[in-house]
Amino acid sequence: MSRLAIQKRYPPRACAVSRARQRGAALLPRPPFLRHATTDEASAAQAFSMATPELTSDLVHGPVSRQAASRRVTARLWRSSQRLVASMLGLVILVIGLGAWTRLVDAGLGCPDWPGCYGALVVPDAQTASLHSPHHPLEGYKAWAEMIHRYAASLLGLAAIALLALGWRVRRRDAHQSQTFEGGSGEAKVTDHWGEEARTRFPLAGCWLLLGMLLVQGAFGAFTVTLKLWPQVVTLHLLGGLSVLSLLLLLWLSLRRRAAHLNVTAEQHKASADAAHIRRQPWLATLAAALLLGQLALGGWTSSNYAGLACEGFPTCNGAAWPAMDWGEGFHLTQDVGPSYLHGQLHGEARTAIHMAHRGGAVLLGAVLLALYWRQRRHLPARTAAPDNPWRWALGCWLVQAGLGIANVLWWLPLDLALAHTLGAVALTLAMVWAMDQMRQAARLKRASVSQALA
């Protein structure tokens, strides 16, 4: 083949690129069969290297290019895992909202069995339902509300399995890169922008924990139906959903932080500098976390015992600052499982005790959040006091949540406000988990600074 024919068949894309490839091809060692080749044969080999830049780059640079390509693939997997966790966060919020809607429209027993509905995977017609459960007539919209909630929860479980598989793949690629390109022990390590050695392994333990929690949540969902809305199970089911939400947020923050170790940007340097101004308040933060857990449990107990309308008026209750209440019956946690707890079985004074306990818990939580916010504001510099205070979001969510609770009492628990109150609890949980994670990172930064100073 002549040189002119080769140039016509493999035209250079651009002069600069062509010259660069020619220089790379000139550095290539000539194979044995071309050491005594003619000019046309040598030109053919040069044209081949110009037409196959990937192979030429691999021959010139060797393992360096393969290492860069492998790391790009791993980076894409990390980004995919972050997107998947973010999508799961949105999905779990949807599942919690659907669960609240199901409870508020009295559809918790819309399907008398589990996991199907009247023995089917979809809502059957009235005739089929009557044959399956003659003593439980079908109400179409309630059955569909329950089944849509189950479908969304099942999708969340499938997403957790996909996240676990993706994390296992990332972990294997990280170990392979460390062994192949660095000769390490299989655990990639880098030095982060805080001056300490950071482990960038994928948090597989968190993924396994997430999958286990979702399995437990599925069991609580089954017990909710089979035990006929027993308040203890309904409350634990709600707390389990919020625990899954918190774990997903921590997983997302962990993935984001570990990926940042591999690619330090100016924004991450700024985030580290901001974290230095966050004041650790372990006792107050622990108290706030305990009060949040108690308040969420009281909210679930209030809802599952249908005590939201036990008090008329605010700030008083039924015209009195301290009405008649039966605390023993209201918080009797070992009562027998009855035929059905739909609309509750407690008398008025027991429900009033539950309602007033929920109000008191809200006041205590608000006071602790205000103290955390104020102490952090005094610790921050004046120019960054407002934007960098991690507790301002938690305090803001609490204020909105308190307003929604008061509105629910004054307007007799309308459906939209009751649903918004549940979603407000979701927002408050997210804000407090994020704030406590910021405090934990501030403590980590302080320890790293001390270690660096001692070194």
Over residues 174-193, the pLDDT tens digits come to 666 655 555 444 444 433 33
Domain count, the chain: 3
In the predicted structure, residue 148 carries a pLDDT above the cut 80: yes
Q: Is there a single domain that holds both residue 113 and residue 132? A: yes
Q: Is there a single domain that holds both residue 424 and residue 320? A: yes
Structural domain of residue 18, as residue ranges?
A: 3-57
Comparing CA positions, the residue from 427, 396, 383, 200 lying closest to residue 274 is 383
| Mean pLDDT, residues 327-338 | 87
**Out of 112-116, 200-204, 234-238, 416-420, which region has the weakest mean confidence (pLDDT)?**
200-204
Which residue matches tokens 């929604």? 404
Assigned domain for 358 exists: yes
Q: Is there a single domain that holds both residue 308 and residue 402? A: yes
In the predicted structure, residue 51 carries a pLDDT above the cut 90: no
Per-residue pLDDT band for 448 (boundaries 50, 70, 90) equals low
Assigned domain for 63 exists: no
In the prediction, which pLDDT does 6 show?
A: 56
Assigned domain for 270 exists: no
Single-letter amino acid code for the residue at 359: R
Q: Indicate if 146 belongs to the active site.
A: yes
Assigned domain for 292 exists: yes
Mean pLDDT, rounded, of the chain: 81
Q: Is there a single domain that holds both residue 366 and residue 450? A: yes
Q: Is there a single domain that holds both residue 249 and residue 289? A: no
Residue where one domain finishes, among candidates 57, 78, 97: 57
In the prediction, which pLDDT does 185 show?
A: 44
Residue where one domain finishes, among candidates 16, 32, 57: 57
DSSP secondary structure letters along 304-346: HTT-TTSS-SSSSBTTBSS----HHHHT-TTPPP-S--TT---
Over residues 335-348, the pLDDT tens digits come to 877 778 988 889 99
Q: Is there a single domain that holds both residue 335 and residue 204? A: no
Nearby residues of 74 by Cβ (< 8 Å), 6 or more positions away: 170, 173, 174, 177
Q: Is there a single domain that holds both residue 248 and residue 341? A: no
* Count of beta carbons in the 10 Å neighbourhood of residue 131: 11
Assigned domain for 407 exists: yes
Assigned domain for 173 exists: yes
Residue where one domain finishes, among candidates 232, 264, 296: 264
The CA distances from residue 68 to 58, 181, 256, 429, in Å, are: 11, 10, 21, 40
DSSP state of 62: T
Assigned domain for 62 exists: no
Over residues 1-18, the pLDDT tens digits come to 565 565 556 555 445 445
Comparing CA positions, the residue from 167, 153, 166, 165 lying closest to residue 215 is 153
**Catalytic residue (choose from 146, 182, 196, 349):** 146
Surface-to-core class of residue 135, CB atoms within 10 Å of its CB (0-12 exposed, 13-18 middle, 19+ buried): exposed
Token pair, residue 198, equals 């950071």
Q: Is there a single domain that holds both residue 144 and residue 210? A: yes
For the chain, helix, strand, coil in percent to 5 are 70, 0, 25
Q: Is there a single domain that holds both residue 53 and residue 129? A: no
| Mean pLDDT, residues 125-142 | 92
Q: Is there a single domain that holds both residue 288 and residue 251? A: no
- What is the crossing angle of helices 231-262 and 63-104, to 10°? 160
* Residue of 20 and 414 predicted with greater confidence: 414
Token pair, residue 253, equals 């923050």
Q: Is there a single domain that holds both residue 325 and residue 439? A: yes
Q: Is there a single domain that holds both residue 297 and residue 334? A: yes
Single-letter amino acid code for the residue at 287: L
Token pair, residue 176, equals 């392979």
Over residues 66-91, the pLDDT tens digits come to 667 767 777 788 889 999 999 999 99
Assigned domain for 269 exists: no
Q: Reduce the DSSP state of residue 191 to 3 states and report it.
A: strand
User: Measured between alpha carbons, how far is 293 from 299 in angstroms, rounded to an integer?
Assistant: 10
